Amino acid sequence: MPKVKLFSYLRDLNAQNELRQVAETLRDFAEEKADKGLQNDMILFLGGLTGLEQQTANRMISGENRIIEEAQKRNALNYHIGRAEKKYGADVEIEAEGVTSGNGGSTGNSVVTNGSGNIVIQGAENSTINVNTGQPTQANESEKKKDTILFLASSPSDQARLQWKNEFTNISQSLQSTPNNFELFSYRAVDVRLLQESILKHKPKIIHFSGHGQQANSINAAGGIFLEDENTKEAKLVKAEALAKLFKLMRQKFSLDIVVLNSCYSEDQAKALQAEVPYIIGMKADVKDSVAIQFAEGLYRGLANHPDDVPYAFELAVVDLELLGMDQVDLPVILKKKD
- 289 closest CA partner among 281, 297, 280, 301: 297
pLDDT, position 178: 67
Contact by Cβ (8 Å): 162, 155: yes
Average of per-residue pLDDT across 61-77: 83
User: How far from the centroid of its chain's Cα atoms is residue 215's Cα?
Assistant: 26
* Residue 98: exposure state from Cβ atoms within 10 A (0-12, 13-18, ≥19): middle
Tens digits of per-residue pLDDT, 42-51? 888 888 888 8
Do 186 and 124 fall within a single domain?
no
pLDDT at 177: 66
Q: Indicate if 213 and 272 belong to the same structural domain.
A: yes
What is the reported pTM?
A: 0.60
Q: Is the pLDDT of residue 142 over 70?
A: no
Of the three residues 102, 123, 140, the one that is the final residue of a domain is 140
Rounded distance between C-alpha atoms, residue 115 and residue 18, angstroms: 7
Query: Within this chain, do residues 167 and 233 fall inside the same structural domain, yes or no?
Result: yes
Q: What mean pLDDT is reported for the chain?
A: 80
Tell me the pLDDT band of 123, cut-offs 50, 70 and 90. Answer: very low
Domain C-terminal end among 140, 168, 202: 140
Distance CA 157, CA 162 (A): 11
Sheet bearing 213-214, strands edge to edge: 213-214, 224-228, 235-239
Instruction: Tell whether 68 and 157 lie within a shared domain.
Output: no
- Whether residues 156 and 88 share a domain: the answer is no
Q: What is the dihedral of CA 257, 215, 222, 299, to 10 degrees?
A: 10
- The share of the chain scoring above pLDDT 70, in percent, equals 81
Residue 243 pLDDT > 60 = yes
To the nearest 5 percent, what fractions of the chain are helix, strand and coil? Answer: 45, 20, 35
Q: Which of 249, 69, 226, 257 shows the shortest CA–CA distance to 149?
A: 257
* Pair (182, 286) in one structural domain: yes
pLDDT tens sequence across 86-105: 999 988 887 655 433 333 33
125 and 254 co-located in one domain:
no
Q: Are 280 and 207 in contact (CB under 8 A)?
A: no
Q: How far is CA 140 from CA 128, 137, 147, 225, 305, in A?
A: 10, 9, 16, 40, 20
Of 130 and 144, more confident: 144
* pLDDT above 50 for 106: no
pLDDT of 30 > 80? The answer is: yes
Q: Is the pLDDT of residue 222 over 90?
A: no
226 has pLDDT over 80: yes
Mean pLDDT of 306-325: 94
Count of domains in the chain?
2
293 pLDDT more than 90: yes
Looking at residue 180, which CATH number applies to its domain? 3.40.50.1460
Q: Are 321 and 298 in contact (CB under 8 A)?
A: yes
Q: State pLDDT tens for residues 204-217.
A: 999 999 988 887 77
What pLDDT is stored for residue 162 in this prediction? 80
On the question of pLDDT at 65 being above 80, the answer is no
Are 158 and 134 part of one and the same domain? no
Last residue of a domain, one of 96, 125, 140: 140
pLDDT band at 13 (very low <50, low <70, confident <90, very high): confident
d(CA 261, CA 248): 16
| Contact of 281 with 260, CB cutoff 8 Å | yes
Residue ranges making up the domain that contains 79: 3-140
Q: What is the pLDDT of residues 159-206, one digit of tens each?
A: 878 888 889 888 888 887 666 678 888 888 899 999 999 999 999 999
Mean of pLDDT values over 140-157: 77
Model pLDDT for residues 246-268, shown as the tens digit of each residue: 999 999 999 999 999 998 889 98
Partner residues linked to 137 by β-bridges: 128
In 3D space, the residue among 84, 81, 67, 72 whose CA is nearest the CA of residue 13 turns out to be: 81
Please tell me which of 19-28, 128-137, 269-278, 308-317 the model is most confident about, judged by mean pLDDT.
308-317
Minimum mean pLDDT range among 73-82, 128-137, 146-155, 281-290: 128-137
Measuring CA to CA, which residue among 243, 158, 266 is closest to residue 192? 243
Q: In degrees to the nearest 10, what's the CA dihedral of 48, 54, 58, 59?
A: 40
